[in-house]
Each structure stands twice: as structure tokens, then as C-alpha cells.
A and B are shown apart, each in its own frame.
Chain A
Amino acid sequence: MKNKYSLFSLVKNAFSYHENWEKAWKDPEPKKEYDAVIVGGGGHGLATAYYLAKKHNIKNIAVVEKGWIGGGNTGRNTTIIRSNYLWDASAGLYDHALKIWENLSQELNYNVMFSQRGVMNLAHNLQDVRDLKRRTHANRLNGIDAVYLNTEQVKKFCPIINTSPDIRYPVLGGTLQKRAGTARHDAVAWGYARGADEMGVDIIQNCEVKGIKRSGDSVEGIETTRGFIKTKKIGVVAAGHSSVIANMAGLRLPLESKPLQALVSEPVKPIIDTVVMSNAVHAYVSQSDKGELVIGAGTDDYISYSQKGSHDIVEGTLNAILELYPIFSRMRMLRQWGGIVDICPDASPIISKTSIKGLYFNCGWGTGGFKATPGSGDLFAHTIANDEPHKLNAAFNINRFVSGDLVDEHGAAAVAH
């Protein structure tokens, strides 16, 4: 049993100069066999292992990660959490996640710094206005908090926005989800890792999957850089590298992996106390607790695994940011990076069984997977444990690309992909 993090433990450890904190998770050697192996030690993978152990009583689990946990897209995203999606299936999925977020720090005994500071989506043309109003109505029918704001209300909620009518893309209105916000991305991975480790899950880092062994139509195990691991159930949560793993199993996925960039500025005093997203001009901005502006850009349109994008994408985003927030014109950017996102043709994820018995995929989150981390892990764990999807992820099966029953969130999701 791990020691609980509390004010008492903080004070106690202060007396020993914080040198005796126990390790949050172990560094085990891989065993020969597991009941289930999760490929990918990001937030989604660790959450999957956590819920498999907690809710489905499968304890003999390994999470294999080729690098370090949370070092992929979990540590590279802009940490925005919201559930204001248009379609019923998506609303159900993302709001399930949002509800878990609201109590996650308590559940994990780990401060994920979930901050419900609200997310505002701006409208810049007449079609945006119509789309956002429609989405607001759809959200409210699904029990998701959403309000439509006119230009004055946008200005009142976030005073630094330039609402002048004569800019290139004037602000005509926006939507606001107050329950939405941000969280500390690393803490999510670490919190789930600590929780899973406590229940006996082996978190194996620096362990890259090199092959998937099959006998007939079922899986037998995985070949890794640290030897063969036998298992009957493999849950793949490899984000941008999902197709690479799928190819090892002789499976094809409807995914394209593309670079998505983000950047942060030098830290400044509090200036923006919410998250503002703008679909049409593709600029997102929020401020981290350290004071950095966190800015999200768009995806490049070519397939790449190089974790770096094109300069013109960043330039376009910053043009939009400067027009909307003239006050940022002298900010200097500190860091810029790229992550590889796996995008489905309908911009919705896949949380599904496959044609191979014992092989499950959780992928296709594209540009917006972070917000879904707890819900995704919970539903994927359900799918793996029962060999059947939960009703909330039934629509996100891989077979929808054959049946044509797509969950088309392209554009509708308040974000251009």
C-alpha cells in the first residue's frame, strides 16, 4: 500500500528534506506472461491499465512503452478539456470523460490540476455563427452546459480579445462551456501510473514493440526489445504510431499520422483566465499556471512521423493570435514542438475490437485526445475486459468505415483538423 499524499505526508517529508519520498512507480523487469498487455504508456494507455485493474479485477497487466511514460502526445498537447461536441455519440463519450475529470485528483490522490476555467469557441463568419448556435442547442439537448455569446459578451468574458469589426476575421460571437478547462498533462500520466502501479500493474519503459505474434486469428504475444511477452489480450494505444503496430499484425487502419504543433511563450503575469479557441483562423490560447501562453497550431497536411512541422503553420497561427490579441505583439516564444497525431477520416476516435481475437485498438484521437484520457481509458478497459464495447463507445467501432455509420465531427467539433 502506497503512502497517501496529504498535507501530513508533505510536512513529514519536509523533516527529511524531501529525500525519502517513495517511488511513485516501480521499474520492473517484464514477466514472461501477462493477462493483458497495453502497448503505449501515455495517458490513455495508463488509464486503461488503471481501470482494468480497478474496475475489472485484472491485476496481471503490463504497460509497455518504447520511451518514457507521458513522453509522447500526453506531454505535447495544449491540455484543453471540453465536451461540447455536436453529435450524440461524441457528446456521450467526451462528457463521460469530463465527469471523471471533475473528481480525478481525489480518485487518484494525485493533483492533476484540473481547472474549470471555461473554454470559449469564437465565430468569425456567418456560417460559424450558425454552426456554433446549432452546436450549442445540440449540447444542451445532451445535457452539456453551453451558452452562445454575442460579441459584447465575448469581450466581457475575455477583455483582451480584439472585437473591432474591421479586423480581417472579426469576432461575431462565440460559445462558452464553463465546465471545460485545462489540466496538468504530465500529472495525468504520473497519477494514473502511480495508481496502476499500486494495484500491481507493471509499467515497463524503454520497451519497444517489434512484432505481434499470432496463431491463426488470435494473438499469442508481443516481441519487444526486452524479449517476448506472452499474452492473450493486447490493447494498443499508440497514438501516431498505431498504424505501425497495426501493420505488424497485418491489419489496416483508416488513419493518417500528421505533425501537430504547439508553442509556449515566456512566462508573464496572469492575462488570460480562460481558454479561447478559434476554428476559422486556427488559433488556440490559454495560460499555464507558470504564466506561459500555451498556443496550439494546426496540423500539416502531409503524413510524417518526424515530430516537427512546417514553419508556415506556426506563422499562420501567430498571425491570427496577433490579430485577435494585439497585446501579445511583443511576447517572445520560448519553445515550439510537434507531436504526431493519428487522424481518422471522420475525425472521431476508434475504441474497438478488431478482426483478430484479443487485439484491441484505441486510436484515431487525432488532434484532441487529451481531453478524453480518463473516459477513453475507462471505456477501453471495459472493451478489453468484456470483449464487448461499452454503450458509450459502441459507435466508435472500427467497422463504421465499412458500414458507413461515421461519427462525422470534422468541423462540427469546434475545431478544424
Chain B
Amino acid sequence: MFIINCPYCGEREQSEFKAGGEAHIIRPKQPTELSDDQWAEYLFMRKNIKGVQFERWVHTHGCRKWFNVVRDTSNDVIKAVYKMGEKPPTK
């Protein structure tokens, strides 16, 4: 259990949010041209990082907006929060 700083609503309990998994997975522009391997890679394969991960969250019980979070999955400490479309922080 931890607090997430929603970029639109401010600090709220994590239970108000829903996790959307790994961020910055780009949907292929021409899915029909992909091989089965490439499609599986896009659809199923995940980094599932132990450590600092870039991920998506949605404020389900709040503004219902999606945004990105940088979180250390080994201890659930959040390093940064940024809006969709913004560049991920490098530090």
C-alpha cells in the first residue's frame, strides 16, 4: 500500500488507482505485416523488472485519467510521476 501523486488530483491512496502495466510499449503501426514472433513480443512479452520500472496507472476512482509512474518494484517507492505524452524523466 502506498500513496500515488496523481498529476491531476494530487496525493491519493493507491487503492483509488488501477495499474496498467509496463509503459511505453508502442503499438505496431502495421499489425498485419508482423510475424507471429513480433506480434507475441508486442502482445505478451514483458520486462517485469525488479527495480526501477516505467509503468502506467489510471485514477479509476478519481479523475479517471491515465498517466505514467516511475516506481521501484523492489520496495514500491515512487520516483516520479508524469503525464501521458510527456517524455520519461532520465534521472
Given contacts A303-B73, A402-B40, is CB(A255)–CB(B46) below 8 Å? Answer: yes
Q: Are A303 and B1 in contact (CB under 8 A)?
A: no
What are 26 residue pairs bridging A and B, where the CB atoms are less than 8 Å apart in the complex? A241-B50, A244-B50, A247-B49, A252-B46, A254-B44, A256-B48, A300-B19, A302-B14, A302-B55, A302-B57, A303-B22, A303-B49, A303-B73, A304-B73, A305-B50, A306-B73, A306-B74, A309-B1, A311-B1, A311-B15, A342-B48, A345-B44, A401-B44, A402-B36, A402-B37, A402-B40
Knowing A402-B36, A403-B36 are in contact, say whether A303-B45 is a contact too (CB < 8 A).
no
Docked-complex contact B75 and A303, CB < 8 angstroms: no
Contact A255 B48 (CB under 8 A): yes
Are B40 and A243 closer than 8 Å at their CB atoms?
Answer: no
B41 interfacial by beta-carbon distance below 8 Å: yes
Q: In the complex, what residues of A have CB within 8 A of residue B22's CB?
A: 303
Tell me if A125 counts as interface (CB < 8 A to partner B).
no
- Proximity bits, A376-417, B CB within 8 Å = 1, else 0: 000000000000000000000000011110000000000000
Q: Which residues of A contact B49 (CB under 8 A)?
A: 243, 247, 303
| List of B residues within 8 angstroms of A305 by Cβ | 50, 73-74
Q: Determine the residue in chain B with the shortest Cβ distance to A244.
A: B50
Closest to A254 in B: B44
Does B68 touch A at the CB level, under 8 Å?
no
Given known pairs A310-B14, A310-B15, A402-B36, the reply for A254 and B73 (CB within 8 Å) is no
Interface residue? A257 (CB, 8 A): yes
The answer to whether A401 touches B55, judged by C-beta atoms less than 8 angstroms apart, is no
Q: Which residues on the B side are within 8 Å of A253 (C-beta)?
A: 45-46, 48
The answer to whether A303 touches B15 (Cβ under 8 A) is no
Complex contacts, A255 vs chain B, CB 8 Å: 46, 48
**Chain A interface residues (CB < 8 Å from chain B):** 241, 243-244, 247, 252-257, 300-306, 308-312, 342, 345, 401-404
Residues of chain A lying within 8 A (CB to CB) of residue B37 = 402
Asked if B79 CB lies within 8 Å of chain A CBs, one says no
Q: Which residue of B1, B18, B47, B73 contacts A252 across the interface (Cβ within 8 Å)?
A: B47
Q: Which residues of B contact A301 (CB under 8 A)?
A: 18-19
Complex CA distance for A254 and B25, rounded to whole angstroms: 14
Of all chain B residues, which has the CB nearest A403? Answer: B36
Known interface pairs A252-B47, A304-B73; 4 further A-B residue pairs with C-beta atoms within 8 A, sorted by A's residue number: A257-B48, A303-B49, A401-B43, A401-B44
Would you give the 0/1 interface string for B60-74, flagging 1 where the beta carbon is closer than 8 Å to chain A? 000000000000011
Contacts A302-B19, A303-B55, A310-B1; is A254 near B46 (CB within 8 Å)? Answer: yes
Q: Which of A256, A304, A306, A402 contacts B46 (CB 8 A)?
A: A256
Quick check: B50 and A254 within 8 Å, CB to CB? Answer: no
Question: Could you tell me if A256 and B21 are in contact, using CB atoms closer than 8 angstroms?
Answer: yes
Q: Is the CB of A306 within 8 A of B76?
A: yes
Please measure, in the bound complex, the distance between the C-alpha atom of A303 and the C-alpha atom of B52, giving whole angstroms.
Answer: 11
| Shortest Cβ gap from A245 to chain B (Å) | 10
Most buried by A among B21, B55, B76: B76
Query: Would A401 and B40 be within 8 Å (CB), given that A247-B47, A256-B46 are in contact?
Result: yes
Chain A residues positioned under 8 Å from B57 (CB to CB): 302
Whether A303 and B21, one on each chain, are in contact in the complex, defined by CB atoms closer than 8 angstroms, is: yes
Residue of A nearest to B39 (CB): A402
Contacts of A300 in B (CB 8 A): 19
Chain A residues near B47 (CB-CB < 8 A): 243, 247, 252
Cα of A305 to Cα of B37 in the assembled complex, Å? 28
Annotate B1-29 by CB proximity to A: 1 below 8 A, 0 otherwise: 10000000000001100110110000000
Give the Cβ gap from A199 to chain B, nearest Cβ, in Å.
Answer: 33
A403 to B49, CA, bound (A): 25
Identify the closest chain A residue to B53 (Cβ). Answer: A303
CA distance A243 to B45 in the complex (A): 10
Bound form: Cα–Cα A253–B39 in Å: 14
Which single residue of chain A is at the shortest CB-CB distance from B13?
Answer: A312
Quick check: A306 and B44 within 8 Å, CB to CB? no
Question: Contacts of B39 on A, CB cut-off 8 Å?
Answer: 402
The 8 closest A-B pairs by CB, nearest first: A302-B19, A243-B48, A254-B44, A252-B45, A312-B15, A402-B40, A310-B1, A401-B44
